[in-house]
Chain A
Amino acid sequence: MAILHGGWLTRIPVQTPVKESHIPGKGDAPVCLGGVLLWGETWRRLTPEMLQIGTLTGDDQPSFGIQPHPYAMTQVELLEFLRSLGQKGLLRLPGLNSLAESVEVPVKRSRKSQGKVAPDVFATNLEEVGWHQSAIALPSSLVAGDFTDPATAVIMPQLFGAETEQEVVLHPWQITGIWLPADEAVPFLNSLPLGSIDTADPFMSGDLRFWSHIARWSLDLLARSKFLPGLTVELREDLAAAIATWEPLLDSGIDQLRFLQFGERMPGVCRMYQQGGSEKIRSWIDIPIEPQTLLQDFLRKTLDAQIRMVAKESPLPETSPNRNHPAKGTAIASPVREWLQALGHKNRLVEASDLESLQTSLQTWTAPLQLHRAENLFRTCLYLHSPQPGQKDWQLEYFLQAADNEEFLIDAPTIWNNPVERLLYQGRAIAQPQETFLMGLGLASRLYSPIETSLQAPRPQFCTLSPVQAYDFLKTAAWRLQDSGIGVVVPPSLASQGGWANRLGLKIQAETAKLDKGKRLGLQSLLNFRWELTIGGQSISKEEFDRLVALNTPLVEINNEWVELRPQDIRAAQTFFASRKDQPALSLEDALRISTGDTQMIEKLPVVSFEASGALEDLINTLSGKRTLEAIPAPKTFRGELRPYQARGVGWLSFLEQWSLGACLADDMGLGKTIQLIAFLLHLQEQNALERPTLLVCPTSVLGNWEREVKKFGPSLKVLQHHGDGRPKGKDFAKAVKGKHLVITSYALVQRDLKDLQTVSWQGMVLDEAQNIKNPEAKQSQAVRQIEARFRIALTGTPVENRLSELWSILDFLNPGYLGPKNFFQRRFATPIERYGDTSSLQTLKSLVQPFILRRLKTDKDIIQDLPEKQEMAVFCGLSEEQASLYQHTVEKSLQDIEASEGIQRRGIILALLTKLKQICNHPDLFLKESQSSALSTQHSFQDRSGKLKRLEEMVEELMAEGDRALIFTQFAEWGKLLQTHLERQFGREVLFLYGSTSKKQREEMVDRFQHDPQGPRLFILSLKAGGVGLNLTRANHVFHYDRWWNPAVENQATDRVFRIGQTRNVQVHKFVCSGTLEEKIHDLIESKKALAEQVVGAGENWLTELNTDQLRDLLLLDRSAIIGEE
């Protein structure tokens, strides 16, 4: 719906409304301080007339020659938006709440007046915010007229993220937003979430996100003390003024690289803010500011603002400590004192004489770092070579290294042989190679004295280091040199200080243990394994190990490779040798963790190599995706066809089942998870492996659907629906379950009938819509964990890997303990990933869970080709108790009336009855209207009173999580209205509704918005009559027929709103049917005799009126087993 922008401006933009006291240059405002201009963008319908020059320009800003950005949020909208984001904890802006509250009244009023706020009423409140105006040049396109004729040209800016095929030009637009000066901008930027794994609902535009990352970098610079105090001269009101500043110090290799990379990745929009400062907004566009210039400005000003705040709080020692004469201590002499004071002062001015000499001092002081001020493409590099065979000493060789490519090295002889102004070397130009080289050596010798001796030669190329010096170089000097901008290269075996590959470690070979007959493997099964001690990747014997330890040096050579022997590793290894009689236990779970790269320590020793053999190798290769899964051919008893990806899915389920590993099948909605599960059970049956019943738990709303699907696709499976008031209990339950293959029950009943369910020895346990256990503390989540079963399967259509607490809950059900306790998981994965966007934690987590989750998207290339362009599916829903009793009552009453009447009157009663029954199936409230709401209506939530609505909600939640959009058709306009209100409340998002009385203009606007607004509503309810024809709504890829018009032609016409030219994705059509009611019977009739039905039903619903009363009774009578009942 809305997008928040934040641009970095190097100068304060124009304040609005312009206040006399804030005219730039007057007063003490430091004019050159930068900050963030926060503004919002939201879709609204625009017509060329509205964009005609002058119409959008308010009377209060006549001086600015450019038009306001037509999509920009108004002040009220922006405050509302910021406040809603603040409430969700997505950002923090001090003082926002009080400001937003003060404009609350206007918000309500503004809705009535359609977004137009009378400025005089709210000016006082809004003024406090500090509104500023700037111009921004944005890609815009011509919607009418001609560029060459400004009088006719109508130009429109490109909406954030919208795609356009039109030719675009850069055009300036005026934007109004909240100004956050550097010191306020930093805490704001730091409060924004850094991660973005769940991109379903982005609210930040690229510019804001980019600056929030840079703000993170600036925090890092502060933490690492990468800044320097300075003294510069600045022009203020035409006079030179001495200014005390804090400057970023980007001398280390990593910061130089970041500077280059961030500069390259800066989104273009960041550069389009017009940096005119507080001058009048101009109507021409600046050449886009250079990314590096803008970046530098941001870092300088945000660092300065942050350090200044600390300096302000740190009192300057008035007298230097002089213990002998405390009273006579000497004050810090002028002008140093004034300079230090100004470093903590907001106006930064240094008012003192003799500043030139201080400036000279500071220049001399920082001279060793001068080389990093310029954009340096090359740096001096020290390359550590291990000793030559038979030698003891190490060598540190000198090079020049490219800042952006560590491997681009120029050796000293080349440099010395080329005393030139500019050296061309392998396609690169190096300015002043010798000077750059010497300068670096000068700094390096200051930081690491062994280098200095070598510099007494005229053309030094290296220095030699003793083993002790080499160790010291690796341990301490290397970091300091790198941190000061000197490149350092060390032998690869010594390079990864944190890595394990070259440390003392264990090499493990494992295989599965032989099993007793009838026993199965599980995560906790112990493996047989052999181990060897290794160092630097080489196996060593106990004798060799002892010899190395006896050398008593930190660096040892193994087969020409030098590695570090750490004291703590030696101790661990000695302990390990001492206790090797009782071998440590290694479980299948450990093996999985080691092979996915999560845990690598056994008894405090790193596992540097892991080899699996036999069946274990197969398992690990398959789980890690190195070996592809075999598709399983559809079992003979399977009535239907498996698409290729479904056959693979069945293969995957049965593979994990063999190892007793829990599986989560998380395919997109509509890819046939149900079918895959049925085929999997049939496969077990075919293998004679289906010995005991499987328990399937699903939401009440799909109980009936499941049973129906099982009967349809796997009639050889004996099913029991455990549900309803009459369900068997205790011994009766045990008896009822006997001989069944599948027992289906609901989440609510698992919790209620837990004791009975625990008495059965289940072969498997399946959770459908497993997101129902996303809250691990909920009772039903606890209950499903307490039922034992040999295999466990979870089915879900939500992108489970992006919802970390849900992921944990499901995985913990499938493979208990695998992801650790909840609080550990939160600390280790959820917090780093969700809060900081930590990609390495995310990577580890993904490889940990990847073996147990199979998720195919309908957009995957190899899935798309298996799918038809249009998939039609009937969705069977139950009735609530309330619906059932209304239905039954209505049928009985009407049948009596029908029997007592004939002719037109009879027809009329039948048609009226049909309508009533449809209404009841939709929702009791639609039938009862408001006045007659039954007693039940107050006891239950709105959605619990209708089986269809419940199911719709579940499916809509899933499709929105997948980022899809849907049309919902109904033939009852009243229902559309009720549904719109309900869905808006449930999902907290806008839902569109189009029906007969929607005006043409509103209609166009809705369609336009649904089709073009990137953040627009995702749900569109249409009445079948009003929305069935003429509209183009190809952005939706789901169509719901909430109620049915028993005429396929009418439904198809509606479906075609989506399925027409411009649709690039597969479309899913969901036809809702209430089980046990006339809806189901007619649906079956149509399905079974499609051709005939079209003739019979073709004209509409009149054929029903021709049936005799008995036929009607059969058709209308409620099948009580379809009632969902109470939970």
Chain B
Amino acid sequence: MADSYQQPSREWWAQRWIEVLESFGWIRRLARARVYAREGNVKSLEFKGHKVIARVQGTAPEPYKVTLSLDPFTDEQWGYVVESMSQQALFSAKLLSGEMPVSIEKVFTENGLSLFPFTKFDIHSRCSCPDPANPCKHIGAVYYLLGDRFSEDPFVLFQLRGRTKEQILEALRQSRSQGKEEKSEDGSQKSEEVIAAHLRSRVSLDPNQFWQYTEQLEPSLVVIAPPPSSETVLDVLGAIPLKPDIAEDGSMVQTSSQAAMEYLKSVYQTVSQQAILAGMNVGESTE
């Protein structure tokens, strides 16, 4: 039953980002920039609001400073986007459960916006290097690293447009709640009492339960059996979203991620088998 559910490909937004860039036609320059990025010349990359500020080691002793940003959406534009998102529970559900909804782009296009840059004029970049060309290879390297960032954390995309995932979730919540903060179904019960009863305070010591533990082993723990399906949490989660590796031909591949998953799968399998075996040998005498 390994195909009973499909994991969304986590790389699609990273791929999409690179595709958009490459569609602008800077092929050769970007190829050099990619190597540059792989060699680890980007020393730091951080967000300041919706702007990306990076330090890239060039030929000069001091790293060059690169800033890169997209046009952030206005509050009004975000308002439309959140409004559209709130029309489908799917968006809140997926975002809350840590997934980037596959149909996210549609929400933006419906409102006449584009999450990804549409033309090269949407991307604003500057580099402190002497190379007058834009993008220079330092900027290109930052482009690529941002692609890696997307595969590690897809919500960086929102940030480039001026909102964090949390801000979006908060906005979605507010659009649902319209200002209500607490409600009791009958209104009469004092909230403090309920909360006191249910927010467990420190567990007190019971003198009658101080020394002895007389419970019998829970029946479901008597036999340590393999689970009914060979799927594990690894199958539920899919591959670890690592930044892609570069293959011989220069294409991006997920070899590290795949190898890591294979390794983990073999460990999981052995652990499970050994535990089942150990579970059968309990209490056997020393002979």
Interface centre among B93, B195, B268 (most CB of A within 10 A): B93
Q: Given A216-B217, A368-B98 in contact, is the A442-B93 Cβ separation under 8 Å?
A: yes
Q: In residues 255-271 of chain B, which contact A (Cβ within 8 Å)?
A: 255-260, 262-264, 266-268, 270-271
A205 at the binding interface (Cβ < 8 Å): yes
Give the distance to chain B from A519, nearest Cβ to Cβ, in Å: 43
Please tell me if the beta carbons of A263 and B203 are within 8 angstroms of each other in the complex: yes
Give the distance to chain A from B232, nearest Cβ to Cβ, in Å: 4
**Which residues of the partner chain A approach B258 to less than 8 Å between Cβ atoms?**
320
**Which residues of the partner chain B approach A456 to less than 8 Å between Cβ atoms?**
88-90
Please count how many residues in chain B sit with their CB below 8 Å of the partner chain's CB atoms.
Answer: 109
What's the interface size class on A, roughly? 35 or more
A726 at the binding interface (Cβ < 8 Å): no
Q: In the complex, A322 Cα to B249 Cα: how many Å?
A: 13
Q: In the complex, A460 Cα to B5 Cα: how many Å?
A: 21
Q: In the complex, A439 Cα to B194 Cα: how many Å?
A: 24
Please tell me if the beta carbons of A160 and B211 are within 8 angstroms of each other in the complex: yes
A439 interface neighbour in B97, B183, B231, B283, Cβ under 8 Å: B97
A340 at the binding interface (Cβ < 8 Å): yes
Please tell me if the beta carbons of B177 and A254 are within 8 angstroms of each other in the complex: no
B194 interface neighbour in A287, A428, A837, Cβ under 8 Å: A428
**Which residues of the partner chain B approach A446 to less than 8 Å between Cβ atoms?**
5, 7, 97, 99, 236
Per-residue A-contact encoding for B224-249, CB less than 8 Å = 1, 0 else: 11111101111011001111010110
Q: Given A320-B256, A441-B89 in contact, is the A310-B271 Cβ separation under 8 Å?
A: yes
Q: In the complex, A1023 Cα to B70 Cα: how many Å?
A: 101
Q: Given A269-B210, A332-B259 in contact, is the A835-B97 Cβ separation under 8 Å?
A: no
**Which residues of the partner chain B approach A361 to less than 8 Å between Cβ atoms?**
151-153, 240-243
**Which residues of the partner chain B approach A269 to less than 8 Å between Cβ atoms?**
210-211
A370 at the binding interface (Cβ < 8 Å): yes
**Which residues of the partner chain B approach A711 to less than 8 Å between Cβ atoms?**
none
Per-residue B-contact encoding for A402-446, CB less than 8 Å = 1, 0 else: 000000000000100011111111111100001100111111011
A193 at the binding interface (Cβ < 8 Å): yes
Please tell me if the beta carbons of A271 and B267 are within 8 angstroms of each other in the complex: no
Q: Given A267-B213, A363-B153 in contact, is the A438-B93 Cβ separation under 8 Å?
A: yes
Please tell me if the beta carbons of B93 and A427 are within 8 angstroms of each other in the complex: no
**Which residues of the partner chain B approach A442 to less than 8 Å between Cβ atoms?**
92-99
Interface centre among A92, A313, A429 (most CB of B within 10 A): A429
**Which residues of the partner chain A approach B60 to less than 8 Å between Cβ atoms?**
none
Please tell me if the beta carbons of A419 and B210 are within 8 angstroms of each other in the complex: no
Q: Determine, out of B23-31, B47-55, B71-79, B274-282, the stretch whose residues face the partner at the interface.
A: B274-282
**Which residues of the partner chain B approach A219 to less than 8 Å between Cβ atoms?**
224, 275, 278-279
B86 at the binding interface (Cβ < 8 Å): yes
Q: In the complex, A901 Cα to B75 Cα: how many Å?
A: 131
Give the distance to chain A from B277, nearest Cβ to Cβ, in Å: 9
Interface centre among B1, B182, B215, B285 (most CB of A within 10 A): B215
Q: In the complex, A435 Cα to B205 Cα: how many Å?
A: 35
Please tell me if the beta carbons of B270 and A223 are within 8 angstroms of each other in the complex: no
Please tell me if the beta carbons of B270 and A314 are within 8 angstroms of each other in the complex: yes
Per-residue A-contact encoding for B181-200, CB less than 8 Å = 1, 0 else: 11111000101001101110
Q: In the complex, A263 Cα to B154 Cα: how many Å?
A: 38
B87 at the binding interface (Cβ < 8 Å): yes
A476 at the binding interface (Cβ < 8 Å): yes
A320 interface neighbour in B94, B255, B278, Cβ under 8 Å: B255
B222 interface neighbour in A290, A426, A439, A837, Cβ under 8 Å: A837
A316 at the binding interface (Cβ < 8 Å): yes
Q: In the complex, A316 Cα to B261 Cα: how many Å?
A: 11
**Which residues of the partner chain B approach A89 to less than 8 Å between Cβ atoms?**
283-287
Please tell me if the beta carbons of B97 and A367 are within 8 angstroms of each other in the complex: yes
Write the chain A residue with the least CB distance to B282.
Answer: A190
Q: In residues 202-224 of chain B, which contact A (Cβ within 8 Å)?
A: 202-203, 205-207, 209-224
B251 at the binding interface (Cβ < 8 Å): no
Per-residue B-contact encoding for A338-355, CB less than 8 Å = 1, 0 else: 001001000000000000
A858 at the binding interface (Cβ < 8 Å): no
A381 at the binding interface (Cβ < 8 Å): no
Please tell me if the beta carbons of B96 and A422 are within 8 angstroms of each other in the complex: no
Please tell me if the beta carbons of B222 and A832 are within 8 angstroms of each other in the complex: yes
Please tell me if the beta carbons of B217 and A195 are within 8 angstroms of each other in the complex: yes
Q: In the complex, A834 Cα to B233 Cα: how many Å?
A: 34
B176 at the binding interface (Cβ < 8 Å): yes
Q: Given A194-B217, A228-B233, A452-B90 in contact, is the A340-B205 Cβ separation under 8 Å?
A: no
Q: In the complex, A1062 Cα to B209 Cα: how many Å?
A: 25
Give the distance to chain A from B141, nearest Cβ to Cβ, in Å: 15
Q: In the complex, A254 Cα to B227 Cα: how many Å?
A: 13
A323 at the binding interface (Cβ < 8 Å): no
Please give 6 more A-B residue pairs, beta carbons under 8 A apart, in addition to A368-B97, A439-B97: A263-B203, A322-B255, A328-B248, A424-B191, A438-B89, A442-B96
CB-defined A-B contacts under 8 Å, sample of 24 = A87-B286, A89-B285, A191-B282, A194-B282, A213-B218, A219-B279, A220-B221, A220-B224, A227-B271, A267-B212, A291-B203, A336-B256, A336-B260, A361-B241, A361-B242, A361-B243, A425-B185, A439-B96, A440-B97, A446-B99, A455-B88, A459-B89, A837-B222, A841-B222
Q: 7 closest Cβ contacts across the A-B interface?
A: A367-B98, A89-B285, A442-B97, A419-B177, A442-B93, A222-B275, A455-B90
